Structure 1
Amino acid sequence: MARLLGIHIRNYRALADVRLGQVQYGRGTPLPRLTCLIGPNGSGKSTVLDAFGFVADCLLDGVEAACDKPWRGGFDRLRTQGESGPISFEIFFEADDPARPIVYQLVVDVVNGVPAAIEETCRQRREGETLGKPYYFLKLKKGRGKVWAGQAVGEATESRISQAVTLVDLDKLGIATLGNLSEHPRIVALRTYVEQWYLSYFVPSAARVLPAAGAQRWLDREGANIGNVLQYYQRQNPKGFNAILRRLAKAIPGLKKITPEVSKDKRLLLKFDEDGYQDPFFQHGMSDGTLKMLAYAVLLEDPHPRPFIGIEEPENGLYVRLVERLASQFSSRTANTALSTQMLVTTHSPYFVDALQPSQVWLIRKGGDGHARATCAADVTTIAAMNESGIPLGSLWYSNHFDDGAPE
């Protein structure tokens, strides 16, 4: 399964020029499987998370629809204020060969008054090479260009195996079209990888709504279908269902049982049985923290998890002692290489950060120009040294050592 190595974002809101992880071919430190973004309110943490969502939405819904999502407000509000250039994303990820990571670039700008994909490229080293520069195997500008089939990459001598490409609609990404063709397995893998990204903005009130009955495999963005997902686990993966219950019981004392139940009007109810109470509770009567821990238990017990999971401020609504435990659970889950999942988390909680290592933590803050800067804690000598001596990262952050040590 693919693994994200790094991302370079330009002109996306406050992210005028932000690099995370490996952002040059063969250089830089790849992002770990658990990456945590910290920093003040309004510094750009959520924008980094939304940048991934924007790329995924461009693939799934088209460029214009991605720009016009209610929380984005159109292209003009997405482009960094004061900038006139396009928005661009360069994503480095590892597929089957660690020596040959793939670099996908998407450039978005306005064409005839409408947001469009004006450039898409994919690059990779030749098969069998461990050194040297990458070559294009997809190169499109305003919908026109070339693609190389199989494992080939572009050069003049290889023009015989390249194909000319002309897209009629710049709203649709080239990888969306070419990713349906078996002769382009790398683009198929890229499309599949991005389609499977999951960005969680869990809203407890959404989880209290009673959905129509019916098992569903994946949680939606807000967790409104959590009962349907539990119904899927109960039917298709009873072992996983019991593991979810055990994980939640450790976090919520007295919880004995969770049962999905179909009402007479065919809506799905979640029934919670607790010690000391004869009658059960239902999801609309459960606390925000209980519902959030239930959602995270579903994510953590998935035997075939999404390859990339983004979570915004998981600590909200949780008892303080649960926060560090949750961070440890995220670390353990992502450390299991057999599962090949990766997490990007934003947080304001030093207790969450206490459970992490310097290589897992990035400080996001704005400079004097209003643009976000990103600094890995492992790259700040004073922070790394104090953490090595036994001082937890959250304590260092709370004591302003991050602000004092991180470069402007």
Structure 2
Amino acid sequence: MNQPILRLLATTNYKNLYLGPEAYLNQLNILIGSNGSGKSNFISCLKFLKDCLIATPDENRGVSSFEDAISKLGHDRVLDVNIESPAKVSLSYCFSHFSQTNNPRSVILDFKLYADKQKARVSISEEYLYSGENLRLASLWEPFYYYKLHETELGKGVLSVYDTPSQDTTHFEPLDKISTNSLGLLMIPQLLEDSQFPPENTPVYKIRRELIEFISKWQFYNANNMNLNLIRTVEPKIGGSDIYLSASGDNLPLVLENLSQNIDFEDSLNEAMKSILPKTRRIRPVRSGRLSLTVEWYFEDIKEAFYLNEMSDGTVRMLCWATILHSPLLPSLIVIDEPELGLHVSWMPILAEWIKKAATRTQIIITTHSPDLLDHFTDRLENVLCFYSENKTHFSVKSLSKEMLEPKLEEGWQLGDLYRVGDPSIGGWPW
């Protein structure tokens, strides 16, 4: 698979999460750890970046995407409570396999937030976009910088510009009037409008477009936020272009309608649901009235269709996960918090296989507290990230490995067994 992925995340002074050294991510990532160990804060870092790059209705009232995103993140409470305010919070994201001309490379977006609790203010104090494989190597030699913003003076920066039409070499040109209330990655086109440099004469032009397109397709789900009542009762209007399930799941019939144009998806979905309810014959979106959609569920030996309001909570949840994970049009990143909620234990191996299969086509991050689900990732220990604490105040991340757990695996332990008993190798217990 040679498509972009989020390769690492690093943080400093961010809430209770200390990712220095950085946390490396794979195609498939299973996050485990006790409640309060930083898993939600980790995911919030990813949501924050997407929110910074997505236009919001409040922009018409003078509220930028960044200001909206920082409000959702906790505003000045993003700063570690143990750090005296004001101080800087660092967030760094590395993306692999982005193309610049014909040369795939990794790109790092690195920025610092200035958090002042006394003034209830958070702004961007530094921002860099550069090529490199990881953050530590960047300190050993000078990487290629697409831009540096606010480095020496707030509101000012430099941008790489090609020297010649052949685009072999570059030099820095100054930028000014750079807002500290918007992410520079989003503002580049506006900044170039006020400069003498055509966008195509800058290396950032193409990579920026690819990066924003990639991040804007990230999708986040939390089983606690799936609104089963809405999923069962809301009948969305025909004609919408939705291909991704919403966070609440309320557009399920519309997503099924749009994805069912792909015959393979319909077959795949029906087979998936047969694995949990063997007598399933067909699931299909149908018109309800003239302009709305609902979902019919047919079973063998029963002529009449069933509707979602007649199905169990767990069954509806599994239909949502199947729709997300079997889609022919997967998001560039799927994040699911605790997908096991409300599901029968016998469905855990099925859910695990859906997750593993989808991870061969896109990047996936799952958080879980379910030993029963973890049992089925014993064969993927290198994909498990454990959140742990050295001092009970700050949490870091470590990757598991077969070598780390080999003695217990040889005794017949599964990953979920170790989680159940609070084995210190993998954490999971708050003491």
Shorter-chain TM-score bucket reads 0.7 to 0.9
- Name the CA distance, whole Å, in 1 between partners of 2:96 and 2:424: 30
Structure 2 equivalent of residue 352 of structure 1: 373
1:109–1:212: structure 2 CA closer, same or farther, 3 Å change rule? farther
Deviation of 1:118 (Å): 2.3
Q: Which amino acid aligns with 2:258?
A: Y
SS in 2 for 1:401: coil
Question: Structure 1, residues 52-110: CA drift from partner, whole Å, max 9, x if none?
Answer: 111111121412111223xx4x3123322132322321111212479842111122234
Q: Which amino acid aligns with 2:129?
A: C
SS in 1 for 2:159: strand
Unaligned runs of 5+ in 1: 23-30
Tell whether 2:399 aligns with 1:376: yes
Question: Structure 1, residues 260-305: CA drift from partner, whole Å, max 9, x if none?
Answer: 1222263321122234544322223322222222222222222232
Structure 2 equivalent of residue 124 of structure 1: 131
Structure 2 equivalent of residue 300 of structure 1: 325
Tell me which of 335, 340, 361 is aligned to 2:384. Answer: 361
> What is the identity percentage for the equivalent residue pairs of Structure 1 and Structure 2?
25
Unaligned runs of 5+ in 2: 57-64, 134-139, 191-198
- Name the CA distance, whole Å, in 2 between partners of 1:163 and 1:266: 55
Structure 2 equivalent of residue 391 of structure 1: 413
Q: Which amino acid aligns with 1:106?
A: F
- Name the CA distance, whole Å, in 2 between partners of 1:342 and 1:149: 33
Structure 1 equivalent of residue 81 of structure 2: 81
Tell whether 2:162 aligns with 1:162: no
Q: Which amino acid aligns with 2:400?
A: A
Structure 1 equivalent of residue 253 of structure 2: 227
Deviation of 1:239 (Å): 2.4
Deviation of 1:253 (Å): 2.7
SS in 1 for 2:187: helix
State which drifts further: 287-296 or 111-120.
Answer: 111-120
Q: Which amino acid aligns with 2:416?
A: G
- Name the CA distance, whole Å, in 2 between partners of 1:301 and 1:253: 18
Deviation of 1:18 (Å): 5.4
Tell me which of 173, 176, 188 is aligned to 2:183. Answer: 173
Q: Is the 8 A contact 1:314 1:347 kept in 2?
A: yes
Deviation of 1:360 (Å): 1.0
* RMSD, aligned α-carbons: 3.1
Structure 2 equivalent of residue 342 of structure 1: 363
Q: Is the 8 A contact 1:12 1:51 kept in 2?
A: no
Q: Which amino acid aligns with 1:145?
A: G
Tell whether 2:105 aligns with 1:105: no
1:404–1:39: structure 2 CA closer, same or farther, 3 Å change rule? closer
- Name the CA distance, whole Å, in 2 between partners of 1:134 and 1:64: 30
SS in 2 for 1:251: coil
Aligned residues: 381
* TM-score of the superposed pair, with normalisation by structure 1: 0.83
